[in-house]
Amino acid sequence: MSIWTSLFTGSSGLGAHGDAISVVGDNIANVSTIGYKSSRADFADVIGGTAANGQRLGQGVRMSGVETYLGQGTLQQTGRSLDLAIRGNGFFVLNGNHDGSAGNYYSRDGQFSLDNTGTVVNAEGLKLQGYVIDPTTGQTATTLSDLTIGGTSPPKATTKVDMSANLSSSDPVLATPFDPANPSSPTSSSYSTSMTAYDSLGNSHKINLYFRNNGAGGWDYHAMVDGGEVGGTKGTPTEIGNGTLTFDAKGALVSQTGTTTASFTGATAGQVIAFNFGDPTSTGGTGTAGSTQYASTSLGDVKSVQQDGWSSGVLTDVSVGDDGTVSGKFSNGQSRPIAQVALASFTSPTNLHRAGSQDFTETQASGQALIGAAGSGSRGAISGGALEGSNVDLSSELVSLIAYQRAFSANSKTVSTADEMLQDVVNLKR
C-alpha cells in the first residue's frame, strides 16, 4: 500500500464519520419532533488492490446507507380529540401534495385538525384517509376516501315512553267524569305530571298526563297537549290519548290499556306514542318493577320517565377508539360512528423513502402499502387524545456522537501521518 493510498484511506474515514455525525445530529435535533423515527449510519469497507499473497487490500470506508429505526415512541396524552397515536405497527395514510408531488404519504405524526370544509388534515394540509360510515345504515364503506367530520344528527320522533310512578292508594275516589276543558281540577283528576316528546321534525312538545282514581285499584290516565300544537286552539288543552291502569290489593300493576296518537302541526301525521307504565302481572311481570299503587302521603310520585325521541343536533365533539372508529357527539345528546381511520403496513417498512415532515413514501424495496382498519392484520391500535413522541434515545445518540468524533480524529491522524511521510520523501532530494 502506497503512502498516497494511506492518505486517501484516512480521507475516506473522515468523510464517512463526518456523514455519520450528521445522522446523529439529525436525530438529536429531532428529539422533540412528534412521530419522528431515528436513523443510524451503516458503514462498509472499500476494497483496493491485491497484496502479494493474493488478499485484497482495504482502501478505506464509506457510509453505505442510513437505516430508519421504527421502534415505538413514548405516548404523550394531550386530551385533544384529533391527536392520534399508533400503538404498534402501521402508518397513517395521507393524501395530497407534498413538496410539489401529489399522492399517498405515510406518517406516524398524528397531529390532525379540521380544515374549513370539515376534512381531517395534518399541518401540511395532507388529508387523512379512512372509511366513511353511513349514518343511516351504519355500514362502513370499503373504499378509501378523505375523512370529513361534521353534519348533524337527524331528529327522531318519540314512539315509546317508559314511566314509573306510584299512584297513592290513599287518594280519594273521584265520582265526577274527567273534564278535558279543566283537566287539573281536583274533581277532574287526582294527580298530574308532564313530559317532553318530539315530533318527526325534532320539535319538542309538552305532554301533560292526568291520572284519576276510579276505586277498586282502577285508574285511568289522559294525555293532553296545547291545542295550538295539533291544529286546534292555542291555549286550549287537547286530548291525544288515554288508557287505564289496574292494580291488585298489594299495589302491584296487573294490566294497562290505552293508545296515544298525535298529529303535530307540520310533522308526520298520526304519530303513535306507546306509554309503558311497568311490568303487569297479566303479561308475566312482577307488577312492582314500574308503576305501583302503594299508600303514600302524596297523591303521586313519578320515579322515572324515559322516551326514545330527540331533536336534531350539531356535532360538538369526536372521540377515536382503538380500532380507529371516529364517534361523533352531538348537541342533542346522541352519538354515532362517523368514520374509521385507516392504517397502512408494509412488508419492509425500513425501506420506505423518507420524504420530510415525518412523511414516508413507498418504494419497490418496502413493498406496496397494505391498507386496512386499525387492529386488523399486523396493524396496531390507535390511541385518541395522544401523540407519539420521537423514538430518539438521547443518551445513546450522545455516546455515538462521541464515538464518531473520536473516529474522525483518529482518521485525521492517518491523514496527517501520511502527509508527514510524503514530506519526508520530498525532503530526500534536499
For the chain, what percent of residues have pLDDT higher than 90?
A: 74
pLDDT at site 305: 95
Confidence at 54, pLDDT banded by 50, 70, 90: low
Nearest to 110 by CA among 98, 96, 97, 123: 123
From the CB of residue 221, how many other CB atoms can be counted at a distance below 10 Å?
26
What pLDDT, on the 0 to 100 scale, is given for residue 248? 95
Domain range for 286 is 160-307
The count of structural domains within the chain is 3
Q: State residue 152's pLDDT score.
A: 82
111 and 188 inside one domain:
no
- Asked whether residue 284 falls in the same domain as residue 324, the answer is no
CA–CA gap between residue 384 and residue 110 (Å, rounded): 9
The whole-angstrom separation of Cα 122 and Cα 91 is 14
Q: Both 323 and 421 in a single domain? A: no
Average pLDDT over residues 48-65: 77
What does the block give as the cell for 226?
Answer: 296545547
pLDDT attached to residue 94: 97
- Mind listing the pLDDT tens digit for each residue in 329-352? 999 989 999 999 999 999 999 999
The helix (run of H) or strand (run of E) holding residue 407 is helix 394-427
Q: Looking at the structure, tell me whether residues 296 and 330 fall in a common domain.
A: no
In this prediction, residue 137 carries a pLDDT of 87
The rounded distance, in Å, linking the Cα atoms of 421 and 119 is 68
Q: What is the pairing mode between strands 325-330 and 335-345?
A: antiparallel
Q: Which contiguous run of DSSP H or E holds residue 414?
A: helix 394-427
Which helix (H) or strand (E) covers residue 36, if one does?
none
Mean pLDDT of the chain: 91
Name the pLDDT band for 9 (thresholds 50, 70, 90): confident
CATH of the domain at 208: 2.60.98.20
Strands 160-167 and 325-330: unpaired
10/122 same-domain check: no
Rounded Cα gap, residues 291 and 283, in angstroms:
15
378 with 363, same domain: the answer is yes
Specify whether 164 is located in the same domain as 303.
yes
Q: Which three cell numbers stand for residue 5?
A: 493510498
Q: Enumerate the β-bridge partners of residue 329.
A: 317, 335
Model confidence pLDDT, tens digit, residues 143-159: 999 999 877 888 999 99
Q: What is the pLDDT of residues 194-223, one digit of tens each?
A: 999 999 999 999 999 999 999 999 999 999
Q: Which of 408, 419, 426 is nearest to 13 (CA)?
A: 408
**Cell output for 244:** 287505564
Report whether pLDDT(1) > 60: no
- How many Å apart are CA 247 and CA 223, to the nearest integer? 20
Instruction: Scan for cell 327522531, then name that residue.
Output: 156
88's CB contacts (< 8 A; 6+ apart) are 72, 379, 380, 381
φ and ψ at residue 317, rounded to 5 degrees: -165, 160
